[in-house]
Amino acid sequence: MGVDPGFWRGRRVLLTGHTGFKGAWLALWLQSLGARVTGLANGVPTQPSLYELARVADGMDSVEGDVRDAALVAAALGRARPEVVIHMAAQSLVRRSLEQPRETYETNVIGTVNVLDAARVNGDGVRAIVVVTSDKCYENREWEWGYREDEPMGGHDPYSSSKGAAELVTAAYRRSFFSAPDGPRVASARAGNVIGGGDFSADRLLPDLMRAALAGEAMRVRNPSSIRPWQHVLNPLGGYLVLAQALWGSPEHARAWNFGPPEQDARTVHWLVQRAGALWPGGVRCTLDDGLHPPEARQLKLDSSRARARLGWEPVVGLEEGIEQTVRWYLGLKEGADMHTLTLDQVACARPTPARA
C-alpha cells in the first residue's frame, strides 16, 4: 500500500504547522493530491521559508493562531470540518527548548492536548488523527539497535521529553475517549532527522551547510561522529499519509508507529556533510566546531518493521537521491528557479512508480 490519490482527492484535512519545513512539504503534497487543506500555525517560523518560496498558501485555507489557545484550536477545527487531522505544529528545536523550556512544553504538550480535545468535543466527521512526535521521544539508552514502538518514553532535554509527553497524552486520549469504533481513530508517528530542500531552521545540519554554501562561507560542524537515521522529508510524510489511510480503513491501526530509514542510512554527521558538500559546485569548506554544546545522544535508530509489515510503508526516496534532491533544491533557489514548480517536481518523485509499487 502506498499513498492513494483516490483516497485524498477532495478529502478535508486539517494540518497544523503547515508553514514549517515538513508542514509546507506536506501541504503541497496534499494539494497535489487534490485534498482540501486547512492549515493552522502561528505565522511563518523562518525567513526565508519553503512556505513562502513555494507559494504554499495559494492552494489552501490558512488559519493563523497559536495551538496553546484551546478556543482558537476548537474554532479552527470547527471551521475546517476535517475528516483527517495531522498535527505537526511544534516548537521543534532542541537548543531553543533549552532556552525556552516552558514555551516548548506548552506548545508541544498542551498544544497536543488542545488538538485532541477539540476533536473529542467537536470532532463529528473526524475519522483519522495523526499526531507527529519524534524519534527523540524514546528513553535513549545509546543502543546500537533501533527502538521499537513499545519501548519507554523519555528524553533528556525539554524538546525530547515534550515529545515523549505528547506521546503519553495521545495514548491516554486514545484509550479514554477515542476507542469507539465509529469515532476518531488516533495514531502517533515517530520519525527524525529529515533532510530536504526548504529547511531554513537554525541549528540543523543541512540547513547550516546550505546556508554556508549560499553565503560562500565555511561551515562549523559539531559532533561529527554522531550517528543519526537520516532520511528525505518525503519518506516520513508518505508514512503519515499511508497511516491516515490505514486508520480510515481500520481502528486496529490506532497506535504508535516508527517511520525511520533502513539500517544502512544511519550515518555520521561527518559522512552527510561530506556527501552534500561535494555536490555543491566548488564544494563547501568545513571546520570543526569543538566549542561547548549541550550534550546530544550519539546513537539513535528506529526499528520501523511494524510500519513496513502492517502499513506496507516503504521509503520512496533513497538517501543518496535525497541528498542530491536537497542540494538541487538550494541550487535552484540560488539560480532563481520557480520554487513552487521545483518543489512539486520533487514531490512527484515520491509517487510510487510501477517499478516501486
Ligand X SMILES: NC(=O)c1ccc[n+]([C@@H]2O[C@H](COP(=O)([O-])OP(=O)(O)OC[C@H]3O[C@@H](n4cnc5c(N)ncnc54)[C@H](O)[C@@H]3O)[C@@H](O)[C@H]2O)c1
Distance (Å, whole) CA 115 – CA 296: 30
> Residue 138 has what DSSP assignment?
B
Q: Which is nearer to ligand X, 244 or 251 (CB)?
A: 244
Per-residue b or e along 232-247, where b marks 16 or more CB atoms closer than 10 Å to that residue's CB: bbbbbbbbbbbbbbbb
> Which of 19, 161, 223, 231 is the binder for ligand X (CB under 6 A)?
19
- Gyration radius (Cα) of the chain, Å: 19
| 116 contributes a contact to ligand X by CB under 6 A | no
Instruction: Cite the beta strand spans of the chain per DSSP E.
Output: 12-16, 36-41, 61-64, 84-87, 128-132, 185-190, 194-195, 219-221, 227-229, 231-232, 256-258, 266-268, 286-288
Please state the closest distance from residue 111 (CB atom) to ligand X, in A. Answer: 6
| 253 contributes a contact to ligand X by CB under 6 A | no
| 191 contributes a contact to ligand X by CB under 6 A | yes
Neighbouring C-beta atoms of residue 285, cutoff 10 Å: 12
Q: Which is nearer to ligand X, 89 or 272 (CB)?
A: 89
Specify whether the CB–CB gap between 117 and 70 falls below 8 A. Answer: yes
Stretch that binds ligand X, among 2-10, 191-199, 219-227, 247-255 (CB under 6 A): 191-199
Q: Which is nearer to ligand X, 62 or 245 (CB)?
A: 62
Distance (Å, whole) CA 151 – CA 54: 38
Q: Which amino acid is at 344?
A: L
Residue nearest to ligand X according to CB distances in the complex = 20
Letters for 119-148 (x = contact with ligand X by CB under 6 A, - = none) are: -------------x-x--------------
Stretch that binds ligand X, among 63-71, 146-154, 278-286, 304-312 (CB under 6 A): 63-71
| 319 contributes a contact to ligand X by CB under 6 A | no
Please state the closest distance from residue 51 (CB atom) to ligand X, in A. Answer: 8
> Which of 8, 11, 29, 45 is the binder for ligand X (CB under 6 A)?
45
Stretch that binds ligand X, among 27-35, 84-92, 169-177, 321-329 (CB under 6 A): 84-92
Instruction: For the segment 23-42, give every residue that binds ligand X (CB under 6 A).
Output: 23, 41-42
Distance (Å, whole) CA 249 – CA 253: 9
Read off φ and ψ for residue 8, nearest 5 degrees. -85, -20
> Which of 38, 91, 161, 223 is the binder for ligand X (CB under 6 A)?
91
| 193 contributes a contact to ligand X by CB under 6 A | yes
Letters for 195-234 (x = contact with ligand X by CB under 6 A, - = none) are: ------x---------------------------------
With both helix axes pointing from N to C terminus, report the angle between 21-32 and 234-249 in degrees, rounded to the nearest 10.
60
CA distances from 186 to 113, 228, 237, 248, 298 (A): 13, 28, 17, 10, 31
Please state the closest distance from residue 4 (CB atom) to ligand X, in A. Answer: 23
Distance (Å, whole) CA 114 – CA 92: 18
| 107 contributes a contact to ligand X by CB under 6 A | yes
> Which of 3, 28, 63, 67 is the binder for ligand X (CB under 6 A)?
67
Please state the closest distance from residue 291 (CB atom) to ligand X, in A. Answer: 23
Please state the closest distance from residue 19 (CB atom) to ligand X, in A. Answer: 4
Distance (Å, whole) CA 309 – CA 340: 34
> Residue 185 has what DSSP assignment?
E
> Which of 68, 127, 185, 228 is the binder for ligand X (CB under 6 A)?
68
Please state the closest distance from residue 100 (CB atom) to ligand X, in A. Answer: 11
> Which of 3, 13, 14, 21 is the binder for ligand X (CB under 6 A)?
21
Per-residue b or e along 113-148, where b marks 16 or more CB atoms closer than 10 Å to that residue's CB: bbbbbbbbeebeebbbbbbbbbbbbbebeeeeebbe
Contacts to ligand X by CB under 6 A:
17-23, 41-43, 45, 66-68, 88-92, 107, 111, 132, 134, 191-194, 201
